[in-house]
Structure 1
Amino acid sequence: MAYTLRDFGSYTVGGHLHHVAQGEIREIQVTRDTAIPYDPRGHFAVAQTYVQYFIPATRRDAPPVVLVHGGGMSGSTWETTPDGRPGWLHRLLDRGYEVHVVDMVERGRAGFAPQVMGPDPILRSLEEAWALFRFGPAAGFDDRRPFSGQQFPVHALSALAARFAPRWIGTSGLQTAGLLAVLARTGPAFVICHSQGGEMTFDAYAARPDLFSGIVAIEPSALPAGQTSFAQCPLTLVQGDYLDAAPHWSARRDAWATLFTRVTKAGAPARLIDTVTEVATGGSHMLMMDRHSDAVLEAAVSVP
């Protein structure tokens, strides 16, 4: 894999200025040798979305791809796998796609403004990730004993956890607004979303379907509200293995199938990719990081 970039950079969109009028000036020690007066009052930039963009030298004549991460994660989801393989960002660039990698509001390089986000954020533990992402049975965590045939590189679990970001539970609306601001800048785009990112993607699509040329939803944890039509936007749903591991995963599998049936019965273009039968067995919730991630991308995006 080798590619040359014509341009790359970053930008922020959305957000607003938040004014704080309460508080008093106090002295803070910013380094061991320097103390400065700090005033908690003033105007602060909050709720912005950070995006890093990449344009290959030989750009495919296709809409840009926007990558939307899941809950408690950031855009690093798509960059390099926890065990050091090229991520979907690099694979898409190698195929000539312009790519925009999003850090949603209050995640990664979008920055944090906890004083305006409400209750304290949560941070995912390794134990939670082990069970929630379907790496293995809860009893297998201590000795890292995964499900049989597991595609996720469980020896790199700690490297994955190092990427976890604090998550505020009540920011979905802000994140949807941020994604809409991204798409207003890029123009109609092909959006690949994962897990919680599916909620923001579907809500943004319901608000501005004209900004979407297609959606690939990797195990979305929320589905479109109401009877959203996908007549003008090809929809692809992708699911992994071990979906009988917990009742909530069985429920999600059934919900994806119901959505697929509704969309196709309405005559809209849609695909439901069961990676177990169409790619390989052993896929976790983190399909873009599994050992067969390249094959999953090929199936989902159908790029030559």
Structure 2
Amino acid sequence: MSNKYKYQIFAVSFLLYSSCNYQQKIDNEDLFMIKEQGAFSAGGTIVSSKGIFDPFKPWYEIQGGQTRHGDHADVFYQIPVNKKNNSIVFLHGYGQSRRCWQTTADGREGFSNIFLRKGYSIYLVDQPGRGEAGQTTKPVGISDKPDDQTWFTQFRIGRYPKFYDGVQFPKDNQSLENFFRMMTPNTGNIEETQVVDALSAVFNKSGDGIFFTHSAGGILGWKTAIKNNHVKAIVAIEPGGFCFPEGEVPENNRGGKGIPLDEFLKLTTIPIIIFYGDYIPIEKTTAYSENFWRDVLATANKWAEIVNAYGGDVSIIHLPEIGIKGNTHFIMSDLNNLTIAHLISDWLNDKKLN
């Protein structure tokens, strides 16, 4: 039985429950204890200026002979008592910070708390040049151009100003206000290799774990898994790009040129599950954002075929196909995020990753 149909059967069975019953189960769980929590930087570079620093001069005078530490990841972590063997490392997507995993637009618990309650140690990452990791060695100007409505549309909440019918996004004004204020700019022009190096340094600190990625973080997840053996599985929420082997890259891939086969084959050694939400059309439409995600989903399916043909273990879950409808690009924080968390938890248990 294929992975796709296995999860279709599971989802149909699960949807016989009321999702509110599962919400009540989470709400009524006993309090849990945190053994350790904190924050750290991982990876990064150091640049220096010529000259000799004079400690007697005022701070506002520009001087030589100094260093600048930047391009590192910033990580907040929590380790529960009686932790599971594998931790979870969370990476945001474009325009976002770790906050997208911590909460939702209407203030419910995000994935980080949900999986912390399940006994996983959590590591929440701001990638270099984003959020709390804003210190860079190659800073860029931050745009002040209004663009909220662009992201409302691109993230498939609706065709602004209208929400999609049945969308799993809270429609009140305060939730939309909160959502827009979660957008976070890039502060530096940081190379992909620097970001991957920083993420690999995170796994060197966290140890064996599952990498949860979102959107533009997807390509970084594949390359971190290739670089670091501590990545034991990947849960990718709507990844936008993929690592194909050289000579097998499809035309519409947003993950760059192909990689050597020996590197690609490292992705066949770990289980991977990928989720896509709703409002991705089968046929082309007049909406650019919908066609964009249509191409991405087609590329994802092609990538899964190739990985699995080389002996990998990739499952693509297009949620409407298994009866879960209304999800946006932010599946992990939609109104039904507990339903999605349950699906993921079941998969983690099935793969013996707990």
Measured against the shorter chain, the TM-score band is 0.7 to 0.9
| Percent identical residues | 23
Moved over 4 A (4+): 121-124
Match of 2:170 among 121, 130, 153: 153
**Aligned CA-pair RMSD:** 2.3
TM-superposed deviation, 1:44: 1.2
TM-superposed deviation, 1:175: 1.4
Match of 2:237 in 1: 218
The 3 A distance-change label for structure 1 pair 58 and 211 is closer
Deviations along 1:140-177, whole A, 9 cap, x unmatched? 32xxx201111122431221121211125654222111
Find out whether 1:120 has 2:141 as its counterpart: yes
Match of 1:261 among 278, 287, 305: 305
Match of 1:185 among 191, 200, 205: 205
- Structure (1 or 2) with the greater strand fraction: 1
Match of 1:242 among 279, 292, 296: 279
Q: Does the aligned pair in 2 maintain the 1:56–1:93 contact within 8 Å?
A: yes
The DSSP-based 3-state class of the residue aligned with 1:267 is coil
d(CA) in 1 for partners of 2:67 and 2:111?
38
The DSSP-based 3-state class of the residue aligned with 1:160 is helix
Find out whether 1:129 has 2:151 as its counterpart: yes
Gaps of 5+ in 2: 1-26, 246-260, 282-286, 350-354
d(CA) in 2 for partners of 1:298 and 1:40?
55
Gaps of 5+ in 1: 26-34
Match of 1:57 in 2: 81
Match of 2:8 in 1: none
Match of 1:3 in 2: 32
TM-superposed deviation, 1:119: 4.3
The DSSP-based 3-state class of the residue aligned with 2:166 is coil
How do 1:62-141 and structure 2 match up within 5 A? 62-113=85-136, 116-117=137-138, 119-122=140-143, 125-137=147-159, 140-141=160-161
The DSSP-based 3-state class of the residue aligned with 1:288 is helix
Match of 2:16 in 1: none
Q: Does the aligned pair in 1 maintain the 2:307–2:313 contact within 8 Å?
A: yes
The 3 A distance-change label for structure 1 pair 6 and 260 is same
- Structure (1 or 2) with the greater helix fraction: 2
What TM-score, normalized by structure 2, do the two folds share? 0.75
Match of 1:32 in 2: none
